[in-house]
Chain A
Amino acid sequence: MSYELSHLDALEAESVFIIREVVAELDSPVLLFSGGKDSAVMLHLAVKAFAPAPLPFPLMHVDTGHNFPEVLQYRDARVAELGARLHVASVQEAIDGGRVAEEKGPRASRNRAQTVPLLEAIEKHRFNAVFGGARRDEEKARAKERVFSFRDEFGQWDPKNQRPELWSLYNGRHRRGEHLRVFPLSNWTELDVWQYIAREGVALPSIYFSHRREVFRRDGMLMAWSPYLPLLPGEEVSTASVRFRTVGDMTCTACVESDAVTVSEVITEIVASRVTERGASRADDKFSETAMEDRKREGYF
């Protein structure tokens, strides 16, 4: 008998343990489900952690109002399939209510604005554990993140004052009004996620695979043409075969040219790629060297 465990089995075992630990120790968890591949894998793991019992917590989507329709369709189909509860925290409502100022100009994005409705929803529903699909390999500020990451009463992250995390003994203690962000996929890489999607047959939104789309080039990235992104002088729309490597909202997510229509074709392209997924596709990280850290400090995902 062999007692070797593949890296995907080891990662799955760790994630399942983390998700169960949260449910055992924190009475009001919620899982952030954007419809992106990482949250799809996280949801798959959460279902596996409790099956055949139902998922013991609701899902939440922070909706910028500028989402890809294919992703919203996928989100709703998945929620219906699981019989899960979904909370939608709306950036549009926060803007209409005057609680967030909309960025102006052709480069405006609602990316940063998501933090306000997210924190409002956490407070309103008294969630004390918020599962996020962030991975440490994605971004350098995220490389310093804990699995159980403490947030104060303002939802703030203090990277210089984090709880030490030893063995698999996670400290979920907090006072009322404070909460924990929990990242079950901390130790997964982009490739691990795709290999696991292939192995488990996890369904994804169609835009992760090659399709024809009207696009234009901005800052070296290929953006989907939509009413939310007015063209700048000199920018021209053309049609190309593309897929998305990450899925945020339409104003900050770029696509890459691709003919990959299956998971295994996507994996082949990722292995050959010489650019990281956020480098290839996320305008939101390009504001400055520490754009992610700055947003995380404020309470972003």
Chain B
Amino acid sequence: MELLRFATAGSVDDGKSTLIGRLLHDTRSILEDQLAAVERTSRARGDEYVNLALLLDGLKAEREQGITIDVAYRYFATAQRKFIIADTPGHLQYTRNMVTGASTADLALILVDARKGVLEQTRRHAFLASLLRVPHLVLCVNKMDLVGFDVAVFERIREEFRQFSMKLDVADLSFIPISALGGDNVVTRSERMPWYQGSTLLHHLENVHIASDRNLIHVRFPVQSVLRPMSSKFPDYRAYAGQVLGGVLRPGDEVMALPSGFTTRIRELDLAGRPVAQAFPPMSVNVSLADELDISRGDMLCRPGNPPLVGQDLDAMVCWLAEGVSLQAGARFALKHTTRSARAQVKQLHYRLDVNTLSRDETSPRLGLNEIGRVTLRTTVPLFFDEYRRNRHTGSFILIDEATNATVGAGMINGPAV
């Protein structure tokens, strides 16, 4: 059974929580005691119907204020797949939350209210999904019941969004007309929209092809740690532990270690002493090499003819996640990239991007909370990286404020700075 991670984004009151509640409910993932708790709370609050949105708001402040504060993770499974939902609130901290949820997502699900059509927030969510390179995008046109299940409304929204999405880099885009409240086209096909011949949402989630989304070409193995038992039972065992971020590794393959540039062969792959025939993303394995090289945490194994970019000067898009502290030229931060830690200085802030219009403001001196901009960074040590569009794992980094230790920025590498 495969695992699919998806992020949901929506505007205020577009029925996102109801949709997730519906998905969980109709796949029998909500159990009786959870439903009973929601019914109790709904009654206490005077709601007219059982408010499935309450299933999702976990914190006291959220239930009191009726808002969602933070990304929440939900789980359900069908016979086909196991699903992890990153449910990102649409209003407060929208960029920070959406970027967080989208960073690990295979698919982004964006909701539109059929009565309102494509809003500024819809465009923003779609832009963030494309910036974060979420491979699959689904636009759910919700509340079709409130527009009389009219095909013309659906077609108009689809056309408008398609026009807009041409400006974005979206590899796979689907449109589904639904009513989350009534359950139409969520899990079961709607009899009220015979004009729609496509998949229900769940069918789409179960069948969308995700196996090819990983990079299986460029071998990238950042070393997490060195395993040396030094015991009488394993006197000579020495292996490099890590998670494969790209490509396929097999015993016998020639590999190059960075930064040294020395090449050798893979002698063995194992996990907990059990041999592994081939390792590919996202497997965690131990790699033993034919020759003893000086390799430690933060180094990277790759194929000799196919190395990552190596350098200290990065051109990147940065999404700012913090209040109080801002990003501006000259500022220094701690940086974490794969298993490598460094310090970085902002050399230049080229522009701030308006996520609503996609226009560039080249006069902005800083990035504040929830703002996105293009920067040049210089790091204290060389990084082994790829363009984010080629590999989301070797192309991403976080920035950490050294005074507070807070995670303040999320970076996506465009390439080496020139």
- Residues of A participating in the B interface, judged by any CB pair closer than 8 Å: 1, 3-7, 9-14, 16-17, 20-21, 23-24, 47-54, 136-137, 139-144, 159-160, 162-169, 171, 173-175, 186-187, 189, 191-192, 273-276, 279-280, 289-290, 293-294
B331 contacts A by Cβ under 8 Å: no
CB distance from A293 to the nearest CB of B (A): 6
- Whether the Cβ atoms of A171 and B398 lie closer than 8 Å is yes
Q: Using Cβ atoms and an 8 Å threshold, which residues of chain B touch A163?
A: 406-407
A187 and B100 form a contact (CB under 8 A): no
**Are A189 and B33 in contact (CB-based, < 8 A)?**
no
Partner of B237, one of A16, A52, A137: A52
Additional A-B contact list (17), CB under 8 Å, known A17-B282, A53-B234, A143-B58: A1-B278, A4-B2, A24-B225, A48-B272, A53-B227, A140-B55, A159-B61, A160-B59, A166-B103, A169-B397, A189-B77, A189-B82, A192-B82, A275-B31, A279-B33, A289-B37, A289-B60
Q: Does B358 contact A (CB under 8 A)?
A: no
A3 and B2 contact, CB distance less than 8 A: no
Residues of chain A within 8 A of B41, CB atoms compared: 289
- A187 touching B400, Cβ below 8 Å: no
A167 with B392, Cβ < 8 A, contacts A7-B1, A137-B75, A276-B31 known: yes
Q: Are B1 and A47 in contact (CB under 8 A)?
A: no
Q: Is the CB of A20 within 8 A of B100?
A: no
23 contacts between A and B (CB under 8 A): A5-B2, A7-B3, A7-B77, A12-B284, A13-B284, A16-B243, A50-B241, A52-B272, A54-B229, A137-B75, A140-B55, A140-B59, A140-B72, A143-B58, A143-B73, A143-B74, A162-B70, A163-B406, A167-B393, A173-B400, A175-B405, A191-B77, A289-B37
A6 nearest in chain B by CB position:
B1
Q: Are A10 and B211 in contact (CB under 8 A)?
A: no
* Bound: A50/B272 CA distance, A: 7
Q: How far is it, in angstroms, between the C-alpha of A135 and the C-alpha of B364 when the chains are bound?
A: 42
Q: Report if A47-B272 is in contact (Cβ < 8 Å); known contacts: A14-B282, A289-B41.
A: yes
B: interface residue count bin:
35 or more
Residues B234 and A52 in contact, CB atoms below 8 Å apart = yes
CB of A178 to closest CB in B, whole Å:
8
B360 proximal to A (CB < 8 A):
no
Residue-wise interface mask of B (73-91) relative to A, using a CB-CB cutoff of 8 A (1 in contact, 0 not): 1110100011010000000
Q: How many A-B residue pairs have CB under 8 A?
A: 187
Chain A proximity mask over B174-205: 1 for CB below 8 Å, otherwise 0:
00000000000000000000000000000000
On whether the beta carbons of B225 and A23 are closer than 8 Å, the reply is yes
B168 at the interface (CB under 8 A from A): no
Contact, CB under 8 Å: A276 / B34: yes
Whether A169 touches B336, Cβ cut-off 8 Å, given contacts A24-B225, A164-B321, is yes
- Tell me the bound Cα distance from A164 to B99 in angstroms: 9
Which of B32, B271, B406 has a CB less than 8 Å from the CB of A274?
B32
Closest 3 CB pairs of A and B: A279-B33, A140-B58, A173-B405
Residue of A nearest to B76 (CB): A189
What residues on A are CB-neighbors of B74 within 8 Å? 137, 143
Q: How far is the CB of B383 from chain A (nearest CB, A)?
A: 13
Measured between C-beta atoms, what is the minimum distance from A265 to chain B in Å? 20
Q: How distant is the Cα of A84 from the Cα of B57 in the complex, in angstroms?
A: 40
Given contacts A14-B282, A173-B334, A174-B405, contact A289 B63 (CB under 8 A): yes
B396 touches A169 (CB 8 A): yes
